[in-house]
Amino acid sequence: MSVNRTPKRRSGKITALSAVVLAAVLVALAAIEVKYLGSDHDELQAALTGAATPPPVESVEPALPDETPEATPSPSPTPTPLPEFEPHAVEGTEPSKYISATAVQVDGETVESYKAEKQISFGLGEDYSALEGVITFRGDNFRSGAAYGAVDMTEFKFDTLWTRSIGSLTAYDGYTWTGSGWTGQALIAKWDKSTRAIMNMYDWAREQDELVEVVHATMDGHVYFTELETGKATRDSLYLGFTFKGAGSLDPRGYPILYVGAGYYGASQSPRALAVSLIDGSVLFSLGDSETFANRQWHMFDSAPLVCAETDQLIWPGENGIIYIVDLNTDYDEAAGTLAVDPVVTKWKYSTYRNTNTGGQYWLGMEDSAVIYSHYLIVADNGGHLMCLDLNTLELVWVQDVLDDTNCTPVLELENGHPYVYISTSFHSGWRSWTTATIPVFKIDAETGEIVWQVDYTCHTEPDLSGGVQGTIAVGKNDLSDLIFVPVSRTPNAYDGVLAAISKSTGEVVWEQHSQTYSWCSPVCIYDSNGKGYVLHATSGVGNANGGYLMLMDGLTGEILYEAALGATTEASPVVYNDMIVIGTRGQTVYGLKLK
């Protein structure tokens, strides 16, 4: 494995080396006899202690001439240690019960055992990104939600501020994809002006003091770049030639990199995962196409990957049954406007008894996005397994049976310091049944994989248009802190849907909102400045002349406060930045909506 080169621009966190140097300086200063008055010495010590974590530049304002001198900053508090997280199997969640084999390949060579040279570690979801915005599917490494900021509404409605037309793509097998599909969530980022200065943006976009950009990969093979407030294109769209169903991810360090994966065959190329420079639109590297190490030859990447900032590594599950860990070896110099990577790839794959015993049904591969906490990755597969993998040893810790082809992404939450996962599954036609089947909604102990509670729905299905839970569960906070919001499709009838609010603590269904068409979209919780919570929920509109509806609901009661027709089938999930909503449809329109 090649040596990791330290990036030339960091996220603002102290490195281990700088911490050692700082400690040495403090020791040396302590040894010097201080000949100043006590108050001056205290100020010197306080300034030195606080220097390790300076406030953001934008928060510091120059003092006016007649102002009193600024007070000496207090030392930064010691970060609260994360709760202990030591996953382990218990009876019923032993990996050997479900998983028949695993294998690891490092830089092209298969190895018998694995121990990471760099120790991966992820903290709380709220600490994941240095960028303001929603920079991956459901925001962060906990998949906490697709909203940033707060909004204080007086009219409790939303208006269309702008629309954008998108196209279609015909893959080389002849299948045509239109607009924005499942999961379809756009990304939103407020870029530093210094970063925009080196991007291939239009002059007006680079020169604005502040700019929030929508980065939207769609099924017509393009990535579109739009100013959030006006809908104006901030730069030329980027044609990559693949059907993009998943959201992709921006680099959480603020580096101008987009990671996005093909959800189907391209117009002329085999599907793959891509890392794209947002300086000039060039492809930095790709992986997964024609993957010979895979146990399943289906090299699609709907998953939104995560980046460990401290180790400069990309973690990306694939539908081919491989989890990729990429040592990026990033070399980014913002001042010079240069960006390069030198990827070294580690791959983990698995086989299951269920896949083998059913003649290839209950597929291998991960279509959802992973949760990562500490050095443990939690992800569901297309064969009905929820798996916990130690990323530093590439050994499975526990596995839970979630019954069916699972497409919704797990969501992790700490409750009284203990981590739990909320997840459900879909109903794949012909595997468990051709007509109806039970769809469970699970609360799972993230340390052991044990089921805490489950709530069951009876769902219908159709081939390639599954019932069950396709959208990802929204976990409530603030005044919604005891609720999760689950979109269940094709229940109680074949084209109906339910949004269920379920108590985290008991599993009791608190309220249900029924809709005339089912939903594959992920609901989004939004809050006002007092913590009052609302839910945005979109329905598919399949079979409805008005298409899907986007609804604004009271989160505590389920009351619909406002709804509007989107004019076409809607599979994509909305994303929210303060008072702005962005959502795309299969009808080839993207909406910029303003909450009022």
| pLDDT of res. 49 | 29
- Closest by CA to 443, choosing from 365, 386, 487, is 386
CATH class of 95-595: mainly beta
Angle at 274 (CA atoms; ends 273, 279), nearest 5 degrees: 165
Q: Is the pLDDT of residue 11 over 90?
A: no
Domain ranges of the chain: 95-595
437-468 pLDDT tens trace = 999 999 999 999 999 999 999 999 999 899 99
CA-to-CA dists, residue 308 to 11, 121, 327, 391, angstroms:
12, 7, 10, 11
406-441 pLDDT tens trace = 999 999 999 999 999 999 999 999 999 999 999 999
Angle at 308 (CA atoms; ends 93, 476), nearest 5 degrees: 65
CA-to-CA dists, residue 63 to 51, 66, 70, angstroms:
19, 8, 8
Q: Is the pLDDT of residue 483 over 60?
A: yes
Q: Is the pLDDT of residue 32 over 50?
A: no
514-570 pLDDT tens trace = 998 999 999 999 999 999 999 999 999 998 888 999 999 999 999 999 999 999 999
Cβ contacts of residue 116 below 8 Å, gap of 6+?
391, 392, 393
Beta bridge partner(s), residue 498: 488, 514
Q: Is the pLDDT of residue 204 over 60?
A: yes
At residue 338, φ and ψ (nearest 5 deg) are -115, 150
d(CA 275, CA 513): 40
Q: Is the pLDDT of residue 7 over 80?
A: no
Strands (E) in 446-559, as ranges, are 451-460, 467-468, 474-475, 483-489, 497-503, 509-515, 524-527, 533-538, 549-554
- Cβ atoms of 417 and 83 closer than 8 Å: yes
- Cβ atoms of 287 and 259 closer than 8 Å: no
pLDDT confidence band for 80 (50 / 70 / 90)? low
Q: Is the pLDDT of residue 77 over 90?
A: no
| pLDDT of res. 546 | 86
Cβ contacts of residue 523 below 8 Å, gap of 6+?
471, 474, 485, 487, 499, 535, 536, 537
Is 480 in a helix, a strand, or coil? helix
